[in-house]
Structure 1
């Protein structure tokens, strides 16, 4: 089946999302690629990869965020179950990553494409220079007719530099590439309103127009045997992507021809359209990519001024400083309710900021010797979440 068929009677939202998606990020979960015996399901991987090659051949750019290295290593090593210790998991990933890339290359090469292994850690996104270099590398791979196969660098990652799951990594890659569409392929067909609906073969929710708490309440907290993320992590990834101007589509990765059906705008899975306009690249990085180094706790007046009137954050509205950070670091802004509502580049280190808490801007020179900035965070360096 071709990737662009007749759309008569098809869903208009899906049609528009597919038509605008000149570049696509596809995320494939561990369980989608793993056979019942714990080994890599090469046949199904090849089936999905054929469809990814068709997307590339249609003139779109496509990047693949693929889980499965640890699962592939478990199968290759003949382990009876998923290890629990960090050294064992990282060793399994080291063995499995080679098998994973080999499987992708075996399917892509006969179709005229290259499989390019890209292993990332959260530090690659936190550092602005490395972040831009990663983007430039991926764009060059596109020009060289390669399909990036992206995964977390499980062999070296530790808790402090982990993404947590590949759903979040996929959303961050989507932001990095400014791709209009993120497809998340899971072992479930989408978000179901209740567990009973999923168990009894009901239909998933067709569209989610707003990711509020009622939607997250439907997701539950379950994780699968080989994967690290359940539906909650997928919705969190969707919130990250859609708030930056990208759409997300969750569907069952074990469904035959799933990507072909999606690119034909078939009414499958759960679609979450983008919200609002597209953020500029720099503000994507500030608001949705880099991890905050600390937090400014502000009063109600400051929250209203920043969130509703687009004002800069002034020291007089800051009531508490948390964490340690330097000038130029990304810092979260939290209101009285405890909700983090914005992020920005701080003009002051945490040590300096603690000296000017609750202080009017015209008095900042007293504790700091010289008052360099009227605002703690200027509105040009602020992103409302």
Structure 2
């Protein structure tokens, strides 16, 4: 068993199809299989966090719906029933093995607000340090559609970055990533190891393969791009395969392993929040020379490099950074409000001694062109 300082952290994303029976209801047998494998890892000394779908799938029949509802109110009502059923089942199963599970319901706004983001990390760290198994899900009961993460693949990747996980395991209804769609091409080959998400790989991603879940391979690839940028290994494999979770951690599973390249500049916690969670409040366009400097050297953005300001924001807000061609090149936390920056750009009557800092310090800046893993995220 590993010591506390050496314990590795594993995040496991479990989709609805991995938890439900043929008729769409929660399958205790499937949950038992998952819990038993997690217990094996816990017994070996790993910290484990689950990002579990299944609330709507577990609750919609209890709501009186014969099929998964399409309307938002019905989905949220089903989730309010299903969340309780889901965590109750998980809790009973973990307690039977001597472990305690906890429930954490998250919304996208919890990630976009930096103080709430930090608070979520602190809470989960306490749980993991105490040997608890946190079970995370989006709060489907109250989250508006336009404020959702979109799918739990994305949520799991962001949670993995949040807690500095060593590996993200995404369970699916397919063995992993293929070089073409195996449902259409019987000669499609499984890719066992991937070090870079290329345009060709993204082109092979399909749409959701299950009537129960919401994510497909496309969303899983987007999730992997986030983990690779954060220096976290990932694995995609078929949930029904015996021992898939345990074997994935020990590199013995059939599936696709995604390993970040050594050349990738891993993002620290602050830059992960800026890049993936912050929700930019305005825009700054910079001149050509500053663009080259940011891309090549990751230097601070000086106020003299700012060409124009768009939007209204306060000091400390995250803004998008554009070049003179209108291409987005990065994100950063500004040292000045939009009003102050605009005055500096237009050389208005302003106390220059009061504005001696750079517009954005290098440690508060994320260049989206710094690594292929960040492009398009």
Provide the TM-score with structure 1 as the length reference. Answer: 0.86
Does residue 346 in structure 1 map to residue 334 in structure 2? Answer: yes
Change (3 A) 1:118 1:106: same
Give the counterpart of 1:174 among 152, 160, 173.
160
Contact 1:119 1:152 in 2 (8 A): yes
Q: Is the deviation greater in 142-151 or in 320-329?
A: 320-329
Give the counterpart of 1:35 among 15, 21, 24.
21
Per-residue CA deviation, residues 244-274 of structure 1 (Å, 9 max, x unaligned), is: 1111111111222211221331152111112
Aligned partner of residue 268 in structure 1, secondary structure:
coil
* 1:215 alignment partner in structure 2: 201
Does residue 97 in structure 1 map to residue 83 in structure 2? Answer: yes
Aligned partner of residue 290 in structure 2, secondary structure:
helix
Contact 2:179 2:188 in 1 (8 A): no
* 1:372 alignment partner in structure 2: 355
Contact 1:347 1:373 in 2 (8 A): no
* 1:246 alignment partner in structure 2: 232
Cα distance, 1:196 vs structure 2: 4.2
* 1:161 alignment partner in structure 2: 147
Give the counterpart of 2:11 among 14, 20, 25.
25
Q: Distance in 2 between matches of 1:67 and 1:84?
A: 17
Per-residue CA deviation, residues 5-59 of structure 1 (Å, 9 max, x unaligned), is: xxxxxxxxxxxxxxx9811111011121121111112211110111011111111
Contact 1:321 1:354 in 2 (8 A): yes
Give the counterpart of 2:302 among 293, 314, 321.
314
Cα distance, 1:197 vs structure 2: 6.6
**Superposition RMSD in Å:** 2.4
Q: Distance in 1 between matches of 2:199 and 2:48?
A: 32
Q: Distance in 1 between matches of 2:285 and 2:18?
A: 42
Does residue 106 in structure 1 map to residue 92 in structure 2? Answer: yes
* 1:382 alignment partner in structure 2: 365
Cα distance, 1:305 vs structure 2: 1.0
Aligned partner of residue 347 in structure 1, secondary structure:
coil
Contact 1:39 1:76 in 2 (8 A): no
* 2:272 alignment partner in structure 1: 284
Give the counterpart of 1:133 among 112, 119, 131.
119
Which blocks of at least 5 consecutive residues in structure 2 are unaligned? 369-377
Contact 1:34 1:40 in 2 (8 A): yes
Q: Distance in 2 between matches of 1:77 and 1:290?
A: 36
Cα distance, 1:153 vs structure 2: 0.7
* 1:256 alignment partner in structure 2: 242
Q: Distance in 2 between matches of 1:182 and 1:195?
A: 23
* 2:322 alignment partner in structure 1: 334
Q: Distance in 1 between matches of 2:304 and 2:180?
A: 47
Change (3 A) 1:191 1:305: same
Q: Distance in 1 between matches of 2:257 and 2:163?
A: 20
Q: Within 5 A, what are the aligned runs for 1:39-58?
A: 39-58=25-44
Aligned partner of residue 234 in structure 2, secondary structure:
strand
Contact 1:312 1:377 in 2 (8 A): yes
* 1:10 alignment partner in structure 2: none
* 2:71 alignment partner in structure 1: 85
How many residue pairs match? The answer is: 362
Q: Distance in 1 between matches of 2:205 and 2:326?
A: 23
Aligned partner of residue 93 in structure 1, secondary structure:
helix
Aligned partner of residue 194 in structure 2, secondary structure:
coil
Q: Is the deviation greater in 128-137 or in 170-179?
A: 128-137
Q: Distance in 2 between matches of 1:295 and 1:160?
A: 21
Change (3 A) 1:303 1:142: same
Change (3 A) 1:199 1:44: farther
Provide the TM-score with structure 2 as the length reference. Answer: 0.88
Q: Distance in 1 between matches of 2:293 and 2:81?
A: 53
Aligned partner of residue 77 in structure 1, secondary structure:
coil
* 1:16 alignment partner in structure 2: none
Cα distance, 1:79 vs structure 2: 1.3
Change (3 A) 1:240 1:335: farther
